[in-house]
Structure 1
Amino acid sequence: MKKTPKIYFASDQHFGAPTPEKSFPREQKFVAWLNYVKQDATAIFLLGDLFDFWFEYKTVVPKGFVRVLGKLAEIRDSGIPIYFFVGNHDLWMHDYFEKELNIPVYHDNQEFTFNEKTFLIGHGDGKGPGDKGYKRMKKVFTNSFSKWLFRWLHPDIGVRLAQYLSVKNKLISGAEDVKFLGEENEWLVQYAKRKLETKNYHYFVFGHRHLPMIIDLNENSKYINLGDWIGYFTYGVFDGEHFELKDFKN
């Protein structure tokens, strides 16, 4: 039986954390998922924090992740579009994915329309009310002068420092108790509701919160968080009519 073409979404793999050795089984599982979805995918969206840390020097990128990068290259070369949105852990991504893998990289939310359904898609960090500490920190991280200064650190020093801070500093990592806070306290839900005041979207699709959830905003609009590939191994799939969250059990 011919499979219905689908659009797939995944977020928050955090490869490299807490150590490369402990991350490796999750990388293998994600590669297995990519092999699974390429059979009927018309597009794949990766919504950030694929890596727990990523920085592009002019001639150097972080060591590792060969299987993931190779599989993404294979899928993209087969003609399936892949879209990448930077997260708060890989926000220093520049043009490596675009030049080496032919995968466009987005640094903010983007609108898409599929089968007359409108989507607003992004990682989700720094959106909505609250989270002021992280928003201030993000301005520092994305400042061109800050990136220039960091680039002068030898990669062995810079990467090790960044990996340490990624785990230890909650403003950087976004680490909090991962539990549902109620719609009124979920900043991305509030962000989506405010967006609906000026424009209709059928689906708001984000990562960042590490909690798989689908929330009805009104009779025509849904907020979706994709969960993560640390504890849930969840992903989203749109078949042209409906959006579902599933977990990959392979």
Structure 2
Amino acid sequence: MNIPAGKKVYFSSDNHLGAPTPEASKSREKKFVKWLDEIKEDAAAIFLLGDLFDFWFEYKHVVPKGFVRTLGKLAEIRDSGIPIYFFVGNHDLWMDDYFEKELNIPVYHKPQKFEFNNKKFLVGHGDGLGPGDHGYKRMKKVFTNPVSKWFYRWLHPDLGVPLAQHLSIKNKLISGEEDQQFLGEEGEWLIQYCRRKLESQHYDYFLFGHRHLPLEIELNETSTYVNTGDWINFYTYAEFDGNELRLKKLQP
């Protein structure tokens, strides 16, 4: 994709809408929708890098209720012709084809390569990448197994959705103080992942969420890792103007 003059590509992640309660997240959702309404004026594309919802599970004919403001605004933007790309996170990894069929928004379950103005990007949510975190990687295999999902769908939504929401909150799905601490370049698994990818292929930018901590790390003279932060504590996002990628903070 060539970015026209005056246009930008936007990247955002980790809204965790619905947490810790739908009522408590409503103000955050309104800020996010207002931001979407503002950036649609100059957006060439919008990337949502996962955990838009604190919990999302698609039954055959049912999806979790709520988030009408967000879904309506995404539909409006997409209908206007602006491409939107969605990457599932560890909290909405049960997303199937609802976004694709209802909103015409492609859904990705793994990092994808993109090229804008001859700049190479690797984009994803970031969960389960790099060394370590073996417990989560095993858990993810169980949760995404088709048999596991088939059994879970036998729970009535009035039981399955509240149960999953309770477990999601209980397992600290909202970033805590420890998630706001930079672990050093050797301790950040996504940095290690990016450096390993550079051993076999060049990327100008790596864009990930999941970490909840806005980060901009130079991996070498020509490659940069950016984590988009979250919409809980930091209200940060990234924008690419065709020449340079910048990490920015929502202004009051």
Query: What is the identity, as a one-letter code, of the residue corresponding to 2:83?
Result: P
User: Deviation digits for residues 5-38 of structure 1, max 9, x if unmatched?
Assistant: 0000000000000000000000000000001110
Alignment check: 8 A CA contact 1:3 1:40 kept: no
Correspondence for 1:214: 216
Percentage identity across aligned positions? 70
TM-score, normalised via structure 2 length:
0.96
CA-to-aligned-CA distance 1:175-231 (integer Å, 9 cap, x gap): 661110000000000000000000000000000000001000000000000000001
1:218 is paired with a residue whose SS is coil
1:191-206 superposed matches below 5 A:
191-206=193-208
In the alignment, structure 1 residue 182 sits paired with structure 2 residue 184:
yes
Residue 169 of structure 1 deviates from its aligned partner by 2.6
8 Å CA contact retained: 1:207, 1:226: yes
Contact 2:33–2:73 at 8 Å: present in 1 too?
A: yes
Residues 22-66 of structure 1 show CA distances to partners (whole Å, capped at 9, x for unaligned) of 000000000000011100000000000000000000110001000
The C-alpha deviation readout for 1:49-108, integer Å capped at 9, x for no partner, is 000000000110001000000000000000000000000000000000000000000000
The answer for the alignment partner of 1:56 in structure 2 is: 58
Aligned to 1:163: 165
TM-score (norm 1): 0.97
Q: Name the residue aligned to 1:77.
A: 79
* 1:139 corresponding residue in structure 2: 141
User: In 2, distance between residues paired with 1:175 and 1:75?
Assistant: 29
Shift of 1:156: 1.1
Q: Where in structure 2 are there 5+ consecutive unaligned residues? A: none
Q: Give the structure 2 partner of residue 232 of structure 1.
A: 234
SS of 2:219's equivalent? Answer: strand
> Following TM superposition, by how much is the alpha carbon of 1:3 offset from its aligned partner in structure 2, in angstroms?
7.3
Q: Deviations over 1:86-144 (max 9, x none)?
A: 00000000000000000000000000000000000000000000101100000000000
Moved over 3 A (4+): 173-176
Q: Is 2:94 the counterpart of 1:87? A: no
**Residues matched between the structures, number:** 247
Residue 174 of structure 1 and its aligned partner are, at CA, apart by 8.5
- Secondary structure of 1:185's counterpart equals coil
Contact residue 49 and residue 86 of structure 2 kept, 8 A: yes
Residue 167 of structure 1 deviates from its aligned partner by: 1.6
**Which amino acid in the other structure matches residue 160 of structure 1?**
P
Distance 1:112 1:215 in 2: 20
Deviation at 1:168, TM superposition (A): 1.5
Q: Partners in 1 of 2:150 and 2:174 — Cα distance? A: 24
Amino acid at match of 1:42: A
